[in-house]
Amino acid sequence: MMTTISVDRTLHPAPPAAGVPVLPAVDVNLGSVSFLTPTGHHSYLCPDPALLVDALAAAVRPARWVAGIGTLVVTVAQTGTRAGRGLGFRLEAYRPRSRGC
């Protein structure tokens, strides 16, 4: 007797919540985070930039920007979990202050 197995070999796009891979630049002194996406350059403020830098140093895959919820997700290693653990950093809109006279 022969068993036949059908395998779906089509590529399925990742859900929008998966985010876009980015390479963030973090200014620890100002708390700013900048990166490029297919839609352009983005700048944000991070409430705890030192923690973000530490997470990026321990990252096991590229950071992902999830625009729908304004969160930068950094995946770090975790014992017992092959996929690692995602750490979310909620970023705020960056509005440079004008320097008045």
Largest CA distance in the chain: 87
Question: Domain ranges in the chain?
Answer: 18-93
Predicted confidence (pLDDT) per residue in 43-93, tens digit: 999 999 999 999 999 999 999 999 999 999 999 999 888 888 999 999 998
Give the pLDDT of residue 83. 85
**What are the DSSP E strand ranges found in the chain?**
20-22, 25-27, 32-37, 40-45, 63-66, 71-78, 81-90, 92-93
Q: Is pLDDT at 42 greater than 80 in this prediction? A: yes
CA 16/CA 1 separation, integer angstroms: 43
Give the pLDDT of residue 8. 46
The residue whose two tokens read 């590529």 is 11
Give the pLDDT of residue 76. 94
Give the pLDDT of residue 96. 61
Q: What is the pTM of this model?
A: 0.75
